[in-house]
Structure formats: structure tokens, C-alpha cells
Structure 1
Amino acid sequence: MVDTSSNSPGSDAPHDVITIHDLKKSYLLGEIEVPILHGIDLNVKKGEFVAIMGPSGSGKSTLMNMIGCLDRPTSGSVRLMGKDTATISDNELAELRGFEIGFVFQNFNLIPRLSAYENVLLPTYSNSKKDIDAMQRAKDLLTLVGLDDRLYHKPTELSGGQRQRVAIARSLINAPSLILADEPTGNLDSKTSEDIMGIFSELHGKGSTIVMITHDPEMKKYVDRVVLIKDGRIENN
């Protein structure tokens, strides 16, 4: 059985996986400052499965970018595994993003010319934990998501559900502390969505910490907690 948990030093530390305090984010539109997030506070504990939900334009994607180390706050703090993303260097930020966060996207983001196996291995080319046998782990993860007979198929030879399974396997290759899923069932039919959410539920049952951005109320039944965001503010927590 493949280990889906983090192998990184300090992964059993008592701090939350995510600690966000008074997070504000604005963007410049010409000379006009446009505020998007207004003082967000949010904690996610190790092993939690949390859905962040809200209407279009609510700030979900901006919040995801903050959590995923794809952008920095205007003010306030985002701490991941105890590290303040606003104060660490760009290299440290890239390392945190590469080693500790596994991304799953709505559009899969697979490389068309690479096989499923090669796509899963892709994150290890620039970031690879020394205690992981990446080649064997990629095969084990594809087996875990039910694609042991599709290792060398390219994305164009796979269904949408199979491509999302590859993306989930890829997100786990570096044994991250956090899985960040952005609308992971957004392009899938209802039956395939159930299958994909079954995989996330299985990962959660094995101890993975998962934050899922979604607008689909059907996803509520799979998670521990729903965080509602509207107009850049959290309405419940």
C-alpha cells in the first residue's frame, strides 16, 4: 500500500497545516486599488477535509492562490506548516509549494505528449524528496487511483475521469502535507464526479489534509467542514 502522508521532517508538529490571520489582498487595476479579500481568518488542522464554497467572484480563487503560495498577501499572514509565506524568500516559497502542496486542477493540466506515468513523475524533476523512490511511487499511485493498466497511455487516450485520476496521483508524488484541489469535479459528469470524490474520501481516510475549492453543493457530503466565502469575507468558520 502506498503511503499518501507527508514524509517531511516536522510533519507531526502540533501546529495547524494552514493558519490564516487578517488576510487582505488587493490588485491594482491601472491606478485603482481593487480589494478582493477583506480580513480572512481561517485554520485548517492536519487530517481535515475542508471545502471552500462561494459564488463566482467571491474570492475563492484568490484565497486558493494565497494558500497555494502562488501569490502573496497585501497584508495579514498565511502560515503553512508553521511557515509565514509573506516573509520567506522566493526560493523557500517555491520549495514549500513544490514539496508540501499537491495541486489538483479542474482542467487537469496534464502534458499531452507525456504518458500518465511521466505526468505523475513530472513534479519530481525539479522537486524530489530524497527518501522517495519516485519511479516506483508513481506506479504505486497510479495503481491506487485504479490506472495500473493505463500507465503508458497519453492524456488524449484517457477519459476525463481517468485524466483527473492521473492529476490526483501527480499531486501525491512528493507526499505533500496538503492537497489543494481547485474545482476537481468541475469538468466531469455526476457519476465520474462521485468516483473522483470517492478517491479523495479514501485519501482523507488515510490521513491526508485536503482543501477543496468548489461551487457545487453536492460536495458538502464528502467533507468535514464547509467554509462559505462571499464578497471576500468568510461568512462562517
Structure 2
Amino acid sequence: MVELEKNPPQDDIVVRAENVCRDYEVGDMTIKVLRNVDLLVRKGEFLAIMGPSGSGKSTLMNMIGCLDRPTCGAVYVMGKNVNRISDSELAKLRGMEIGFVFQSFNLVSRLSALENVELPTYANRRPGIDVRGKARELLDLVGLSERMDYKPTELSGGQSQRVAIARALVNNPSIILADEPTGNLDSKTGEEIMNIFTDLHRRGRTVIMITHDLQLANKYADRVVYLKDGVIDDRATKVNAA
């Protein structure tokens, strides 16, 4: 098994999953989606999570993203056990520490690019922060300084994903979660988006990405974790060369 050190410094770990299970009740049936998953994610790591459809990738991402809680075991995000904090504390942790980038962009069609980037700050407003200025700065960072006033319907897929990345960064999160971020993009645009993630990683961001693309995972991620039938396949999990 390829793994991190047995006892890494605790302040170096941003996500820790211990013996995590997730079951769903469907009628009289219990569907076991995750089974005894253990995972550590270091600060500043670029981790890719791979696996076939139904392997539990999105469920694990939901656990890490504080969108769901495990049936058994424990998930710690920035040192906090997501099972032991209130819903309001969980929402605050999710809003302040995690930035989400989705395959389908999830932009609000009636808002401009600038307004979409500002959106996550409404629930988690930091005192003394110039939100409009921060949003402009981030759109400039992703190469959309001339498209700030455009609505999603006036943007290409690649431009929309750049807006989504800027939106994910607006609260200065510790972790970026990207679920198939290039899945709806052509190869050239997908490479441009991955170059943005690479730049964020070089700046010290922790990036956790779900992908079906092995070549993409091997090219950009520090480490690749494979899920199969709700468990981590230790034989396939590997650390990529620097």
C-alpha cells in the first residue's frame, strides 16, 4: 500500500477519514456505498480520486466537503469531527474552509460573472473585506477581467468554469474540491483549466479532484487514490513522481 507516514504532524493534515462507512436506506434495502475507508490528505497536496461509476467517489467527496456525514467512522476537516458539530457549525466550516468546483459549473444564470463570484460571501462575510475588489481580483487571476459583467449564457464552457474557480476561491478556503472539473470541456480548454489548478496548487492550496481521466490524474496530481465498490484499492493507489 502506498500511504503517508504513519504519524504525520497533525497540523499538516487537512482531511482525515477513519474507518468511514456510508449506508443509504432504500425501501427495505441497505445500500453500502463506502466501507471502512481510511484517508489522509496533507496541506498543500494535490489528490486525485478515481474509480468506476458507483464506486463511492462522489459520496466520499460529499463527506470531505461537509455536505454529508458518515454512517460510521469519523471524518475530520481542519481538525473538526464533522459528526460532532452542529449543522450551523458544519455550514460555517463548509463555507469558510472549502471551495467547490463542479462539472456543471452551477452558476446562477441571472447574475453576472462578478456577482456569481461574490455569492458565497453573503453567508460568510468576513469583516473588513472588500468583496467586490476580491471578486475582481480573482476573475483577473483566472483570465476573465474583460468578462466580469457577462452572464453565464454569454460565456463559453471554459469561461464558465473559470468563474466557478474564482467563486470557489472568494472565501480564501483551505481546500478546493473539484468534481470532474474538465468533464464538460474540450481537451484544449480542459488543459487550460488544469493549468489554473496547478497554479493554485503551487501557491499552497490543497486540491482534491474527482476524475475518470487516468492521464489527467497522473499528469497533475501528487497522489492518486482508487475507489472500487466503496473501498480504497491499495494495489492501485500511488504517489506520482514530482
TM over 0.5: yes
Give the drift of 1:15. 4.2
State yes or no: 1:212 paired with 2:209: yes
Structure 1 position 133, deviation (Å): 2.0
Aligned counterpart for 1:144 among listed residues 141, 145, 150: 141
Match of 1:121 in 2: 118
Q: Which residue among 12, 24, 29 is the counterpart of 2:26?
A: 29
1: CA distance between counterparts of 2:45 and 2:128?
A: 25
Cα offsets for 1:13-58 (capped at 9, x unmatched): 7141000000000000012111110000000000000000001111
After the TM superposition, which parts of structure 1 deviate over 6 Å for at least 4 consecutive aligned residues? none
CA-to-partner distance for each residue in 1:121-160, whole Å, 9 max, x for gaps? 0001111222532111100000000000000000011000
Specify the alignment match of 1:132 in structure 2: 129
What is the alpha-carbon distance in structure 2 between the residues aligned to residue 99 and residue 92 of structure 1? Answer: 11
The DSSP-based 3-state class of the residue aligned with 1:69 is coil
Look up the equivalent residue of 2:171 and give its one-letter code. Answer: N
TM-score, normalised to structure 2, is 0.91
Which residue does 2:64 correspond to in 1? Answer: 67
CA distance in 1, matches of 2:190, 2:81: 34
- Counterpart residue number, 2:107: 110
Q: Report the Cα offset of residue 218 of structure 1.
A: 2.1
Secondary structure, counterpart of 1:200 in structure 2:
helix
What does 1:1-237 correspond to in 2, within 5 Å?
Answer: 14-219=11-216, 220-236=218-234, 237=237
- The DSSP-based 3-state class of the residue aligned with 1:17 is strand
What is the alpha-carbon distance in structure 2 between the residues aligned to residue 157 and residue 108 of structure 1? Answer: 14
State TM-score, norm by structure 1. 0.93
Code of the aligned partner of 1:177: S
Matches of 1:142 and 1:126 in 2, distance apart? 20
Letter in 2 for 1:233: V
**Which runs of 5 or more structure 2 residues have no equivalent in the other structure?**
1-9, 238-242
Percent identity over the alignment? Answer: 62
The question of whether the paired residues in 2 share the 8 Å contact of 1:178 and 1:210 is answered with yes
Contiguous gaps of at least 5 residues in structure 1: 1-12
The structural deviation recorded for 1:223 is 0.9
Native 8 Å contact 1:132 1:174 kept in 2: no
Larger relative CO (CA 8 A, sep 6+): 1 or 2? 1
